[in-house]
Amino acid sequence: MAQSTFLLGGDLEINRLGYGAMRITGEGVWGPPKDPEGAKKVLQRAVELGVNFIDTADSYGPTVSEPLIGEALSPYKPGVVIATKGGLVRTGPMQWLPVGRPEYLTQEVHMSLRWLKLERIDLWQLHRIDAKTPLEESLGAIKKLQDDGKIRHFGLSEVSVEEIEKARKVIDVVSVQNEYNLTTRKSEAVLEYCEKNNIAFIPWFPVASGKLAQPGGKLDVFAKQHNITVSQLSLAWLLHRSPVILPIPGTTSIEHLEENVKSADVQLTEAEWAEVEAATKD
């Protein structure tokens, strides 16, 4: 059975199956959700089910997901780790523009602290590297905030191995968040690097997609044979794939949330996992 916990940054023990809070916003990750009270109930139920790693960003909404988390979960249950991200400007639905200027990132951290009702952010991640701002300048501002006690740990998002190594010359990197799932495996080299350096790998978009996962597809057929859903199979595979992987599926449904959490209980043999892997390579 896959190891159930991970020691984030060497000092925060969290359950590996977390919750991603991007979807508790409006269409296009823009504006408030249709049911804000329902979104709060999902967050509260997640914590009740033992989820203690919740990932968000100030750009979700923008400034919608973070306030909902603060309202729903503050004061936080001991052991709950809130991770957030900054470094993107929103100019409309599904529009995301990187801005890594030091003064902007500093403002974002202070606003996230306010919205989340925290005195220190356990994990703050740079949402995207801004090609117009030297990375050393962006990270220098974050390192200062870390030294001032506003940030506990730092992570990166959608980066290459080379970018991680460059960042590590300025600040300790405890996590990397890249797109990764059963059918999208472009970040294998980054995952291997994270394994070697005990860096958490947080796959966004963790559920398999495409024709293999569609009704009647190979993954769907396999999942039905084992009385689970493709979503549960996808999440269970991630937990099996590497002990540094921390999946963060998101949902606005308590029923779907409970289904996702049960993914941690899925147990397949090595031969069955090999069959799943083979299905994605056809």
Catalytic residue among 60, 76, 180, 193: 60
DSSP code of 58?
Answer: T
Distances in whole angstroms, Cα of residue 144 to Cα of each of 19, 105, 137, 148, 171: 28, 11, 11, 6, 10
Pairing outcome for strands 88-89 and 97-98: antiparallel
Q: What's the number of CA atoms in the CB half-sphere (13 Å) around residue 255?
A: 0
CB contact at 8 A, 229 and 220: no
Burial level of 1, CB count in 10 A (0-12/13-18/19+)? exposed
**82: its two tokens:** 């809130």
Angle, alpha carbons 216-222-223 (nearest 5°):
90
> Beta-strand (E) ranges in the chain?
5-8, 12-15, 19-20, 53-55, 81-86, 88-89, 97-98, 121-126, 151-157, 175-179, 200-204
Catalytic: 60? yes
> What is the 3-state secondary structure of 164-181?
HHHHHCCCCCCEEEEECE
Give the active site residues: 60
